[in-house]
Amino acid sequence: MKPEWIAADWGTSHLRVWAMEGSTPIDHAQSDMGMARVSKGGFEDALLALIEGWLDNAPVDVVACGMVGARQGWVEAPYAAVPTTPVQGVPIRVPATDPRVRAFVVPGLKQVAPPDVMRGEETQIAGFLDTHPNWDGVICLPGTHTKWVQVSANEVVSFRTFMTGELFDLLRGQSVLRHSVSEGWDEAAFSEAVEDTLSKPEQLAARLFSLRAADLLHGQDGSTARARLSGLLIGAELAASRPYWLGQQIAIIGAEGLSAAYAKALQPQGAFVEMADATTSTLAGLNKARNMTRETV
């Protein structure tokens, strides 16, 4: 069945596409041809490889968000500056040679001071706000680069990026801690570690190596070490982002397990946390962006 349009979430490491009927996904495909693996000039082919079976002779709209709009991406989609609605104006039209494809990229957002940028999360925020009209508060989007986003009157007012996910991956996979961190989880160790760095953030630097030493000297379990490492880093992030979330209504948009960890970390702080599914938000945001292309193109 030919879709009405095609949604694409094109990040650094993955390309995920959905065949859409209005706001409903009817088929899905994905590949590891993320922006980082595709060379300039190869984007159209990487896309066609996934959506070929959905095409016929009539041109179809493909609306994409994420790092595909970066300088090294398919086309550089200039950032919109905050404060702004998360998806503002018509997405950028991308030059495609295949006449069956009319491709668009949603621009990211920038903040001049302190300097910060996002690509992809603005679409999830737009999707969330589409189903939560007049929602004011703070949105947390946990991931490789977690974003904390202040939203008011349907605009992104300010935001801040934390490299928590990337730090966790590097420390767990490539630092000396890799010898002491395994799979598995220890809920109590996680909560205790969050509390540790949230109350004494200056101690983070000292506590990381303790995960190695506690293994060498006391045989600390690898799953405990994993939960503690995650808790120490998320606690440090919550200490730094406190001005964002303290006393605010909070929505977490992300993958289920990671969102649950953030919710668990925030609960003892008396925070009211609402959760939203990442993919649902992405598709709702891309649908909103697509409606803008139809109104004006």
One of 157, 240, 260, 292 touching a second copy (CB under 8 A): 240
DSSP string, 259-271: HHHHHHHHGGGT-
Which position among 40, 58, 134, 202 is part of the footprint of a second copy (CB under 8 A)?
202
* Site membership for a second copy, residue 75 (CB under 8 A): no
Map residues 77-96 to x or -, x wherever contact with a second copy holds by CB under 8 A. --x-----------------
Question: In this structure, are residues 221 and 186 in contact, taking their beta carbons and an 8 Å threshold?
Answer: yes
Under the binding rule (CB under 8 A), the answer on residue 241 touching a second copy is yes
Dihedral (C-alpha) 90, 92, 95, 98: value to the nearest 10 degrees?
-50
CB atoms < 10 A from the CB of 2, how many?
12
DSSP SS3 for 98: coil
* Nearest-approach distance from CB 161 to a second copy, in angstroms: 4
Q: Provide, rounded to whole angstroms, the least separation between the CB of residue 50 and a second copy.
A: 25
Does position 216 interact with a second copy (CB under 8 A)? The reply is yes
Which of residues 205, 257, 270, 296 is near a second copy by CB under 8 A? 205
- Please state, in angstroms and rounded to a whole number, the distance separating the CA atoms of residues 40 and 209: 41
Q: Taking the mean position of all CA atoms in its chain, how far away is CA 27?
A: 22
Q: Where are the beta strands (DSSP E) in the chain?
A: 5-10, 15-21, 24-31, 60-65, 80-81, 92-94, 101-105, 109-111, 116-118, 137-141, 146-152, 155-162, 249-254, 272-277
Of these, 55, 214, 260, 292, which contacts a second copy (CB under 8 A)? 214
Residues 91-120: x/- map of binding to a second copy (CB under 8 A)?
A: -------------------xxx-xxxx---
| CB 94, min distance to a second copy, A | 20
Q: Of 210, 256, 213, 216, which is closest to residue 229 (Cα–Cα)?
A: 210
Q: How far is the CB of 247 from a second copy (least distance, A)?
A: 17
Single residue of 22, 41, 56, 218 touching a second copy by CB under 8 A: 218
How far apart, in Å, are the Cα atoms of 156 and each of 53, 182, 281, 287, 291?
37, 38, 16, 19, 20
Kindly list the strands in the beta sheet with 116-118, ordered across the sheet, starting from the edge strand earlier in the chain: 80-81, 109-111, 116-118
Of the pair 130, 196, the CB lying nearest a second copy is at 196
Give the x-and-dash track for 31-60 against a second copy (CB under 8 A): ------------------------------
- Please tell me whether residue 170 binds a second copy under the rule CB under 8 A: yes
State whether residue 34 is helix, strand or coil. coil
What is the nearest approach in angstroms of a second copy to the Cβ of residue 251? Answer: 20
Instruction: Determine if 217 is a binding residue for a second copy (CB under 8 A).
Output: yes
Least spacing, CB of residue 273 vs a second copy, in Å: 19
Instruction: Provide the binding-site residues for a second copy, judged by CB under 8 A.
Output: 71, 79, 110-112, 114-117, 145, 160-164, 166-167, 170-171, 174-176, 201-206, 208-210, 212-214, 216-218, 233, 236-237, 239-242
